[in-house]
Amino acid sequence: MKQMIIASTSTVHGSGYLEYIINELEHFFKNTDEILFIPYARPGGISHDEYTANAHQAFSKINKSVRGLHTFDDPKKAIQNAKGIFTGGGNTFVLLNQIYKNDIIDALKSAVNSGTPYLGTSAGSNICGLSIKTTNDMPIVYPPGFNALGLVPFNINPHYLDPDTNSTHMGETRETRIKEFHKYNTPPVIGLREGSWLSVSDSSIVLKGPLSARIFEHHKTPYELDSGSELNQLN
């Protein structure tokens, strides 16, 4: 049975790394003491070791250890043997490029579809969708393609920001960019606000956290979905 937490962010304002969701994670990863961490997104260009240490520090608060995927000689086998997987945020293009480079897309999909608990934050959530075309990141590297894991039947826009009516900034809003995406693509897009996450249990997808999500469907007016609502109808 598929078990996933697809979170907009790892850190909300005023709290530490994963702190806002740590109680949820203690229950989510209750059946394992070690989390396999995929540090490929490298926020700010930090090293895989540095990033893994950050994740380990957060999970140590709930008595879980963390080991980085980069330390294994056979990353596919490591994924196959993992009892829990966490892919952190950073640059989505860097993350997906490294996933392609190490040829682990099928291994990840198989593990999650077979029931290995999977946590994604930010970039690690972006790759759960059909493609990474709705990421906010700069394409600083060039992956072989934009197709992602396709573990949910839509795209995700983490860190979704609402238009600021008081701002004098004349650049495009997130809503404008997602509507532009729908001029060329048809999949729905979930605008996940900070502190929100999707809880996936087999075929059930439920919005969790304190805030609503902004839902964008092709040829439809965007609308709000309240926390606690199902997203199963989107495809």
The residue ranges of every structural domain in the chain are: 3-225
CATH 3.30.365.10 for domain 3-225: no
User: Is the alpha carbon torsion for 92, 223, 6, 108 positive or negative?
Assistant: negative
Q: What is the pTM of this model?
A: 0.96
> What pLDDT score does 170 carry?
61
Which H or E run contains 199? strand 197-201
pLDDT tens, N- to C-terminus, the chain (235 residues): 899 999 999 999 888 999 999 999 999 999 999 999 999 999 999 999 999 999 999 999 999 999 999 999 999 999 999 999 999 999 999 999 999 999 999 999 999 999 999 999 999 999 999 999 999 999 999 999 999 999 999 999 999 998 777 777 666 899 999 999 999 999 999 999 999 999 999 989 999 999 999 999 999 999 999 999 999 888 7
Q: Which residues contact 15 (CB under 8 A, 6 or more apart)?
A: none
Instruction: Enumerate the active-site residues.
Output: 122, 137, 159
Q: Tell me the three state secondary structure of residue 8.
A: coil
Q: Which residue from 179, 84, 92 is spatially nearest to 129, judged by alpha carbons?
A: 92
